[in-house]
Structure 1
Amino acid sequence: MDLEGRCQPKLTGLRLIETAQDNGLRMTARLRELEVKDLLYLCRFFGFSSETFSLAVSLLDRFLSIMKIQPKHLSCVGLCCIYIAVKSSEDEKSVPLASDLIRISQNRFTVSDMMRMEKIIMEKLYWKVKAPTALHFLRLCHSHIQEQLAAER
C-alpha cells in the first residue's frame, strides 16, 4: 500500500493524454492503447508472464504521465518499457537481445537509440522499476474474496 501511492502515474499527465486531439503531434489515449496492444503482442510472442506485461504497462503509464513525448518516439518508449520489465521480472535466460526486440517489433531505431531511451526512462522514474500494478491489485482482490468465501463456509 505504501508503494502504490508513490508509484502511480501522475493523474494530471494522464488527463493531458486523454484530452489531447489526434493531430499527429501529441500523445493521445488512442496511441497509448495501440502501444499497449503492441506490448501484449510482444509478451505473447516471447511467452513472457502476465506480471511482465502488467509491469511494462505500468512503466509506460508512469513515464507518459510525467514526460511529454512525440508520437514518433512512442514505439521506442514502449519497447524500452517491456525490456525493463523483462529484465526485472523474467529469468535472465529469457531476456531477449535488444536487437531481437527491435527486429521483431519492426521498429526503425537502433540498439543505441533504445539504450539511450532506457536510460532516460529509468532516470525519470528514479530507477524505481518494481511497483504495484493492476495485476497485483486484482490478485489481492481475488485472494480477499477467496478468504471471505472460505470464512463463510
Structure 2
Amino acid sequence: MKFIGLLESQRLASQLENGLQSETTKWKVPSFQGSTIKGTDISPSLYEQAVLWIEELRSLFHFYPETFFLAVNILNRILASVKAQAKYLRCISVTCLYLAAKANEEREVIPLVKDLVEQSECMCSSAEILRMERLILDKLQWDLYMATPVDFLNIVRICNS
C-alpha cells in the first residue's frame, strides 16, 4: 500500500465522511415483522428469490456488478418505504434493476423496456414497468444513488493509487 500524505489522507477522510453522511440519511432496510417484511406480504424467501433473480438478470444483460448492488439498494429502500404486495415483487425487482442500469451503465447496453420485458420474463408489461419506475422515483424523491460498499472500496483504492 502506498504511503499517503496529510492532504491525501484528509481528502480520503472527507470523501468517506461524505459517503457515510449520505448513507445515514438515505439508508433504509426493510424490517421483518413475523414472517414477512413489515407492512407487506413478502416473506424472507420471496425477498431472497427476488435478489437472486436480479443477479441472474444482471448477468443476462451483462451489467456491471455495481449495477446489481445499486438495484438491491433501491429494492431495499422501496420495500422499506411502501406497503408492497408479493404479486408485484417481480415488477418492482426488474424495475429496480432497470433504474440501476440507467444510473450505472452505458446507454448502448441498456435494453429497451419491451426487450427487458421479453428477455427477463418478468410477467409484467412495458407500461407496468414504466409506471413502477415513476412510482419508485417519486417515493425515493428521484435520488437513486446511494453509496454502496463498492464505492467505499473505490474511494480508498483511488486515494491510494
Query: Structure 2: any 5+ residue segments left out of the alignment?
Result: 1-19
Q: May I ask how many residue pairs the two structures share in their alignment?
A: 140
Return the structure number with greater relative CO, CA threshold 8 A, min gap 6: 2
Q: Select the structure that is richer in helix.
A: 1
Q: TM-score, normalised by structure 2?
A: 0.78
In structure 2, the CA distance between the partners of 1:135 and 1:19, relative to structure 1 (3 Å rule), is farther
Amino acid at match of 2:68: F
Query: Structure 1: any 5+ residue segments left out of the alignment?
Result: 148-153
2:24 aligned residue: 5
2:85 aligned residue: 70
8 Å contact kept, 2:94–2:122: no
Percent identical pairs in the alignment equals 29
8 Å contact kept, 2:36–2:44: no
Matches within 5 A, 1:37-76: 37-76=52-91
1:15 aligned residue: 31
Q: TM-score, normalised by structure 1?
A: 0.82
8 Å contact kept, 1:27–1:68: no
2:47 aligned residue: 32
In structure 2, the CA distance between the partners of 1:129 and 1:98, relative to structure 1 (3 Å rule), is same
How much does 1:8 deviate? Answer: 0.5
How much does 1:142 deviate? Answer: 6.9
Describe the superposition over 1:80-121 as per-residue Cα deviations: whole angstroms up to 9, x where unpaired: 100000011100111101111111121221111110010000
- SS of the residue corresponding to residue 55 of structure 2 reads helix
1:80 aligned residue: 95
User: Cα RMSD between the aligned structures?
Assistant: 2.4
How much does 1:140 deviate? Answer: 5.7
